Amino acid sequence: MTAAAVTDRIFYRHLARPSPTGLRRSAVRNGRIEHIFDIMEPRVTVIIPTTALSERRDYLARSVDSVLTQTSVDVSALIVANGGRCDDAVLAKLSRTKNVTVIRFTEESLPAALRSGRKYVETPFFGELDDDDVLLPRALDNLSAGFRRDPEAHVIVGNGYIRRDGFRDIESMTDIDLLRANPLRALLERNWLHPGGALFRSDAVSERDFSHIAKYYEWTYLAVVLCLTHKVSFVSSPVFIHHIGMPLSLDVSREALFGRIEALRTILSLPIPSDIRRGFRRKLGAQFHGCSAACLDERRNLGAAFTHHLNSLIYPGGWRYLSYTRHLLYAALTDLLRL
């Protein structure tokens, strides 16, 4: 037997030993440290933030079921019930379900729920799923396979489907090569990080990464943070369905429309490169324009419509909204004639 063959046998015998953490083992080979993840049955916690409203109990049950039926992983669901509107019967039923843990706090806030959920994670890997979304079969297995291909990654992001109004599906990743080349720049075109779409290493992605999440742009903010401070890797396998426009959902609400102004300002407070910053400033200008149009359509506050419009003009690409000024002037003149 050659010396190389003996070395290989010793190396792989070392890898065959179980890891006490359930996360990964390290071995030195040819002067290089190689990290190998325990992949037989990785332990995963999936955080599910929810307001646990009785009207959404069927969606929540569907989400939990999509987690617990995952294969090739040792998975548990962590239900983070937040706010004062939770249905006690819904939570009581969940708390009796095997491999489900329920925690509860009074503040109704998705960012706060994500932070609390991350604090309670005790497994080597974790993910997140909204209470009206679903993991596709073998989703966690496909995501964990990404760590086998790229053991140094801190988070694996998968493809998925964005389902609008319950029936129209759009793939979340259209050009995975572009994502891999420059994931931060790709965020200017579309967000690629969605609920259910990522598997995180608990020893790398900490509570601190969730500490200042921007409300209403939670996943875009987290994607920026991950790009700036962690190694992100991608797999092309579809792993989730993310629903937009579901009943009682905040993602298309007036509150979310106006709240995203502050969310974009929070993203702009991060140390992002100047060209990326310009792109997010352009998005902020577009958000001001959208808020102005909403105020005009509702005729709630013409003054606010003018203020948002003026703000939209000072950001990159603001010239696009100059012609919109005539609609505001027409509305103001109409109101004067009614006096």
Mean pLDDT of 173-202: 94
Q: Are 164 and 114 in contact (CB under 8 A)?
A: no
Across-strand partners of 79?
48, 102
- CA 222 – CA 316 distance, rounded (Å): 24
The percent of residues in the chain predicted with pLDDT above 90, rounded, is: 76
Q: Are 238 and 160 in contact (CB under 8 A)?
A: yes
Residue 5 has a pLDDT of 39
Does the model's pTM come out above 0.75?
Answer: yes
Q: What confidence category does residue 337 fall into, taking pLDDT thresholds of 50, 70 and 90? A: confident
Which tens digits make up the pLDDT trace of 139-174? 999 999 999 999 999 999 999 999 987 667 889 998
Nearest CA to 209 out of 227, 191, 183 is that of 227
- CA 315 – CA 268 distance, rounded (Å): 13
Q: What is the pairing mode between strands 43-50 and 74-82?
A: parallel
Question: Which tokens hold the place of 161?
Answer: 């489907």
Work out whether the CA dihedral 79, 82, 87, 88 comes out positive or negative. Answer: positive
pLDDT at 232 over 60: yes
Question: Which tokens hold the place of 164?
Answer: 């609008």
Burial of residue 273, with CB atoms counted within 10 A of its CB: 0-12 exposed, 13-18 middle, 19 or more buried? exposed
Which tens digits make up the pLDDT trace of 113-135? 999 999 999 999 999 999 999 99
- CA 288 – CA 293 distance, rounded (Å): 9
Instruction: Name which residue leads in pLDDT, 310 or 8.
Output: 310
Residue 6 has a pLDDT of 35
- CA 233 – CA 150 distance, rounded (Å): 7
Residue 330 has a pLDDT of 92
Work out whether the CA dihedral 261, 262, 267, 273 comes out positive or negative. Answer: positive
Work out whether the CA dihedral 88, 91, 92, 93 comes out positive or negative. Answer: positive
Nearest CA to 276 out of 213, 160, 185, 176 is that of 185
Q: Is 335 helix (H, G, I), strand (E, B) or coil?
A: helix
Cα-only R_g, the chain = 23
Q: What confidence category does residue 89 fall into, taking pLDDT thresholds of 50, 70 and 90? A: very high
Which tens digits make up the pLDDT trace of 249-295? 777 688 999 999 999 999 999 999 999 999 999 999 999 999 999 99
Which tens digits make up the pLDDT trace of 199-216? 999 999 999 999 999 999
**How far from each other are the two terminal CA atoms of the chain, in whole angstroms?**
99
Report angle CA 192, 198, 204 to the nearest 5 degrees: 115
pLDDT at 25 over 80: no
